[in-house]
């Protein structure tokens, strides 16, 4: 006679495991709901500086009778751009992921993933999914408040449903690109004990080349073409450009496919690195 456990399929068991990880992670993250709400409001404070800065820049460039644009952006577009990039960065940022993986490798904590039927990358990804779900379930009201107060900067109104769907897709894929990029840096810990210097270099390039600091269309043409080839633009610039209609409709589908290609490529890179890293890993002591 077969028992209930024996009749459960491996897929069902795996789904139950994934749900358990997500549920526990959600409960842990919701402990910090007050911090999430306050942190969201504080996240938008630098926008005040940006408004004054770009107001001065556009005023200095203004010509009588002409609408001033800079890199394809008007003043109101620029402020709206920074608001949207903050939403995108909230999806794609992965604080502590790389250093956490490297620390687990260095301290030997990663051994538990070798003796338990739980995949390290899957476990960490589910934990980050739970973190984002908990964050946005709490931070939605602060986001709505800030966007309501700044609604006058969206002078062209809200985009049509197709653009909204594309924007949502860019946020999800930006989350995956951010996760697997930082996971790849952390997995370098199998070969180097310390990855903090590599992480610092990555954060520096990400800050300037992802579009978080300014739209990458402001870069000189000699540099912009190269930056457009990197996956970093999908962390901040691309979602905002899609939302604001800066991506021509005939190029939007192609750009989304390229972004999806980067997601698949980075997943393969992480899987190969983890498999090779585990083979060369050695643990000693108790």
How far, CA to CA in Å, does 250 sit from each of 169, 243, 247?
17, 15, 8
Q: Is residue 285 part of a domain?
A: no
Tens of pLDDT along 88-129? 888 888 888 988 999 888 888 888 888 777 888 998 998 888
- Lowest pLDDT segment from 7-21, 81-95, 112-126, 178-192: 7-21
Q: Is residue 4 part of a domain?
A: no
Banded pLDDT at 6 (limits 50, 70, 90):
low
Tens of pLDDT along 206-246? 888 898 888 888 888 888 889 999 999 999 999 999 999 88
For residue 259, the model assigns a pLDDT of: 94
Determine the average pLDDT of the residues in 179-194: 90
Q: Is residue 1 part of a domain?
A: no
Q: How many CB atoms lie within 10 A of CB 212?
A: 21
Q: Is residue 27 part of a domain?
A: yes
Q: Which SS3 state, helix, strand or coil, does residue 73 take?
A: strand
For residue 167, the model assigns a pLDDT of: 94
Determine the average pLDDT of the residues in 28-51: 71
- Lowest pLDDT segment from 44-48, 105-109, 161-165, 167-171: 44-48
E strand or H helix that includes residue 258: helix 249-280
Q: Is residue 21 part of a domain?
A: yes
Q: Is residue 50 part of a domain?
A: yes
Query: Is pLDDT of 2 > 60?
Result: no
Number of compact structural domains in the chain: 1
For residue 1, the model assigns a pLDDT of: 45
Q: Is residue 61 part of a domain?
A: yes
Q: Is the pTM of this model over 0.75?
A: yes
For residue 174, the model assigns a pLDDT of: 94
Determine the average pLDDT of the residues in 42-59: 77
Q: Is residue 40 part of a domain?
A: yes
If you compute the radius of gyration of the chain from its CA atoms, what whole number of angstroms results?
A: 22
> What is the span of the domain harbouring residue 142?
10-280
Q: Which residue has the higher pLDDT, 92 or 25?
A: 92
Average pLDDT, the chain: 84
28: which residues sit within 8 A by CB, 6+ positions away? 130
Query: Is pLDDT of 52 > 70?
Result: yes
For residue 72, the model assigns a pLDDT of: 79
């Amino acid at each position: 006679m077969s028992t209930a456990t024996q009749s459960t399929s491996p897929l069902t068991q795996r789904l139950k495991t994934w749900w358990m990880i997500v549920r526990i992670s959600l409960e842990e993250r919701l402990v910090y709901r007050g911090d999430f709400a306050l942190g969201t409001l504080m996240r938008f404070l630098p926008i005040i500086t940006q408004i004054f800065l770009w107001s001065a820049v556009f005023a200095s460039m203004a010509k009588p009778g002409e609408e001033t644009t800079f890199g394809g952006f008007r003043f109101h577009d620029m402020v709206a751009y920074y608001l949207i990039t903050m939403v995108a960065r909230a999806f794609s940022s992965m604080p502590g992921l790389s250093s956490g993986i490297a620390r687990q490798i260095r301290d030997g904590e990663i051994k538990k993933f070798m003796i338990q039927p739980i995949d390290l990358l899957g476990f960490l990804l589910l934990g980050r999914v739970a973190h984002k779900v908990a964050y946005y379930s709490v931070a939605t009201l602060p986001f709505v408040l800030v966007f309501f107060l700044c609604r006058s900067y969206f002078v062209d109104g809200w985009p049509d449903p197709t653009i909204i769907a594309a924007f949502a897709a860019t946020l999800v894929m930006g989350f995956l690109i951010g996760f697997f990029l930082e996971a790849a840096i952390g997995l370098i810990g199998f070969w180097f004990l310390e990855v903090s210097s590599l992480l610092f270099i990555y954060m520096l390039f990400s800050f300037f080349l992802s579009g978080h600091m300014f739209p990458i269309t402001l870069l000189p043409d000699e540099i912009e073409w190269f930056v457009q080839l990197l996956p970093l633009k999908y962390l901040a610039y691309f979602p905002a450009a899609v939302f604001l209609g800066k991506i021509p409709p005939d190029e939007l589908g192609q750009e989304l496919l390229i972004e999806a290609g980067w997601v698949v490529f980075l997943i393969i890179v992480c899987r190969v690195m983890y498999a090779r890293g585990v083979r060369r890993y050695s643990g000693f002591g108790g």
